[in-house]
Amino acid sequence: MKIQEGKIRVNGHEVWYRRVGSTGTPLLTLHGGPGAGHDYLEPLEKLATNRPVIFYDQLGCGKSDKPNDRSLWKIERFVAEIDALRQALDLEHIHLLGHSWGGWLAIEYMSTHPTGIKSLILASTSASTSQFVSEAKRLISELPLEIHETLHRFEAASDYTNPDYIKAVREFYKRHNCRLAERPEPFQRTLVNLSKTPVYETMNGPNEFTVIGNLKNWDHTHSLGEISVPTMITVGRYDEVTPACAETLHQGIPHSQMAVFEQSSHVAHLEEPEKYLRVVGDFLDAVDATCD
């Protein structure tokens, strides 16, 4: 299978990409975080039998440049990065997949009314920060009493580095971020990416459910109806970005489809890989068949 790697220059900085496969309409993937890097999405390479799959590390993480300039970490800059990547790689027509924060980025990008988008896949994401945070608080309230009291106590003191707080956060992650007993190696690389970039803290905050960065007021709930391309929404039953968030997307985007992965939390493509690849692959094949 043909593999191409390289870097493109975006506003003075180098952004790394990897293209797997050669025939068909490419699938461009937007990773989560912000700052997680492409690594944990690598299982999606198996979709490249029917189309090229393109990964890239957004500026500030992974194999891309990591400039020491927090003013760069704004959603508008990452939207512009997508256009720059498409232009550099001649991606006139694409399928677009955004996972988690990548889903927010995909929705923001679609609000600019780009041309050439054949379909959209929104994976484990939401229409607004506020709904995600509200749902996360509900999940926290359902944790064992000791854990959610620990979380509340240290958050009230803004003490996000206390070992007891971090231990409690990890319990949340075990239930709602990745339920696998052993985290896959690509996922481990993503955790390293997040630990080495200020992008996550600047845009999101100290952890998944404490969004105090510059994305805290992000909301596209009322513009979902403007998305007119075929859309698939995927979510894990135990997802930190809950099925309720996915349902808001489903109800807001005309003629969208929704798939719930019953044994998964936030990374269904890792937790139920065969089923996930089948569902997404069938969706992409159906769109291609309709458009061709």
Q: Burial of 216 by CB count in 10 Å (0-12 exposed, 13-18 middle, 19+ buried)? A: middle
- Six token digits for residue 216: 């805290």
Q: How many residues comprise the chain?
A: 292
Catalytic residue among 64, 100, 119, 128: 100
- Concerning whether 164 is annotated as a catalytic residue, the answer is no
Catalytic residue among 176, 239, 256, 264: 239
- Where do we find the tokens 């513009």? 223
Say if CB 108 and CB 219 are below 8 A apart: no
Q: Which residues contact 226 (CB under 8 A, 6 or more apart)?
A: 110, 111, 113
- Six token digits for residue 181: 């007993």
Q: How far apart are CA 208 and CA 137, in angstroms?
A: 11
Q: How far apart are CA 243 and CA 167, in angstroms?
A: 26
CA 191 to chain centre: 14
- Concerning whether 266 is annotated as a catalytic residue, the answer is yes
Helix (H) or strand (E) holding 282: helix 273-291
Catalytic residue among 31, 99, 176, 266: 266
Residues annotated as part of the active site: 100, 239, 266
